[in-house]
Amino acid sequence: MSSEASVHPGLLGGRAYYRALVLRRQLILAGLTLALFLSLCTDLALGPARYGLEEVVAALFMPDAVSEQVRVILWDIRMPVALMALVVGASLSIAGAQMQTILSNPLASPFTLGISAGASFGAALGLAFGVIFIPAAVDYVIPINAFLMAMLTSLFIYALSLRRGVTIETIVLLGIAMVFIFNALMGLIQFFASQQAVAAVVFWTMGSLTKATWPKFWVTFGILLAVIPLLVRHGWALTAMRLGDTKAASMGVNPRRIRLEVLALVSLLAAIAVAFVGTIGFIGLVGPHIARLLLGEDQRFFLPGSAICGALLLSIGSVLSKVIIPGTVIPIGIITSLVGIPFFLFLVLSHRKSAW
């Protein structure tokens, strides 16, 4: 049935067409997952010591079959970083996908609402002046600063969106205003901070996975796992929101309620992701767009698709950050922007059928 479906889609009845569509999307999702696994293995294999893919796979599935040294390097040093790339990529991409959905704006992403900018400001306060919001282990002080500032930003936008008569355009404008305010504040910090501190701030804003540890991974992963079912629950409603508020409401959806709830959820996702790894551009914008091109906007496929595309992009970014200049790990945020933007432009321009 499926092969016929792809050859003569027009000749099939509606139900058969739909079944073929679902099958095709399941295959695409499976293909993306496979690509993700390959990228993860490659990421693990690369580093100061290079391993063959067979060795990595062996270490993954039969840890006893490889030497102690290989096991330690792969599992304790590289694995948290490689997995962090996946969960951060997935979190940012899901956040971007849902922001684009609820704000009806193809440019919406964790950046548009000032969440990344807020995180950078929080981190910069700590790095430059030692401002500490909550005392914690030294490894966590800056992430906590970044997280709290990012959440404060989203809370502010959330509170304003609660007011009557605030439209989605207003929300996007508010977000952009926040970005500019934080950029100005960052300038101020860098003006007054010591040279060393400025270097630390700049490095933080470039985004880096190298500080990832197992506990940080589990926190990020835990939040992602908690948020996904809450989004899935609104799957049909979120898809309906893409038809506009009136249409969604005519289908029994309460667009305002969904918008606020999802805004809160994805703010949390994005804030935790940027807090641990710094500013990583374009995943939250590009991931959902690729998923949309491949899988359409039915959330049952669009949501997992966005997650996997985001994870895949950041994992590939992590691989590239190690191979472009051998022996040097280029900050991942630079890679995603440098490689992500041209790739994104290529995608958009080569695909004439535009959704927006």
Partner 1 sequence: MVTLQLDRVSASYGRQEILSEVSTPEFQGGQVVALLGPNAAGKSTLFRRIFGMLKGGGHVRITGARTATPVAYMPQDTGASAVLSVYEAVLLARMQGRGMKVQNEDLAHVDRALEELGIAALGERDIGNLSGGQRQLLSAAQALVQEPEILLLDEPTSALDLNRQLGLLTILRRLAEERQMLIMAALHDLGHALRFTDQAMVLERGRLITCGPTDQVVTPDLLRRVYQVEARIEPCSRGLPQLIVEGAV
User: Least distance in Å: CB of 280 to partner 1?
Assistant: 25
What is the Cα–Cα distance from 222 to 234, expressed in whole angstroms? 20
Whole-angstrom distance between the N-terminal and C-terminal Cα of the chain?
33
Nearest of 45, 111, 87 to residue 213 by alpha carbon: 87
Of 50, 247, 256, 257, the one binding partner 1 by CB under 8 A: 247
Minimum distance of partner 1 from residue 252's CB (angstroms) = 5
Q: Which is nearer to partner 1, 17 or 37 (CB)?
A: 17
Asked if residue 9 binds partner 1 (CB under 8 A), the reply is yes
Torsion of CA 77, 82, 85, 91, to 10 degrees: -100
Could you give the count of Cα atoms lying within 13 Å of 318 in the half-sphere of its Cβ?
34
Cβ proximity to partner 1: between 11 and 53 the closer is: 11
Q: How many Cβ atoms from other residues are within 10 Å of residue 296's Cβ?
A: 16
CA distance 119 to 139: 16
Q: How far is the CB of 341 from partner 1 (least distance, A)?
A: 22
Q: What share of the chain is helix, strand, coil (3-state, %, to 5)?
A: 80, 0, 20
The reply on whether position 257 binds partner 1 by CB under 8 A is no
Q: Where are the alpha helices (DSSP H) in 212-254?
A: 214-233, 235-241, 245-250
CB of 353 to partner 1, least distance (A): 7
Please list every residue from 280 through 339 that binds partner 1, using CB under 8 A: 292-293, 296-298, 300
- Residue 216 vs 289, nearer CB to partner 1: 289
> What CA–CA distance (Å, rounded) separates 94 from 272?
13
What six digits make up the tokens of 70?
């290989």
Q: Restricting to residues 17-56, name those near partner 1 by CB under 8 A.
A: 17-18, 21
Smallest gap from Cβ 354 to partner 1, in A, equals 8
Decide if residue 346 touches partner 1 (CB under 8 A): no
Residues 107-166 that bind partner 1 (CB under 8 A): none
Q: Are 216 and 80 in contact (CB under 8 A)?
A: yes
10 binds partner 1 (CB under 8 A): yes
Compute the distance between CA of residue 224 and CA of residue 266 in angstroms, rounded to an integer. 10
Stretch that binds partner 1, among 11-19, 76-84, 90-98, 115-123 (CB under 8 A): 11-19
Among residues 160, 244, 345, 346, the one that binds partner 1 under rule CB under 8 A: 244
261 contacts partner 1 (rule: CB under 8 A) = no
Question: Which residues fall within 8 angstroms of residue 352, CB to CB, at 6 or more apart?
Answer: none
* 356 interacts with partner 1 by CB under 8 A: yes
Q: Which member of 158, 176, 183, 235 binds partner 1 (CB under 8 A)? A: 235
Identity of the residue, 69 or 354, whose beta carbon is nearer to partner 1 in the bound complex? 354
Q: How many residues does the chain have?
A: 356
Closer residue to partner 1 (CB): 195 or 354:
354
Of these, 133, 158, 203, 236, which contacts partner 1 (CB under 8 A)? 236
Distances (CA, A) of 130 to 133, 148, 200, 260, 295: 10, 15, 12, 34, 46
Residues of this chain that bind partner 1 (CB under 8 A): 9-10, 13-15, 17-18, 21, 232, 235-237, 239-240, 242-244, 246-247, 249-253, 292-293, 296-298, 300, 353, 355-356
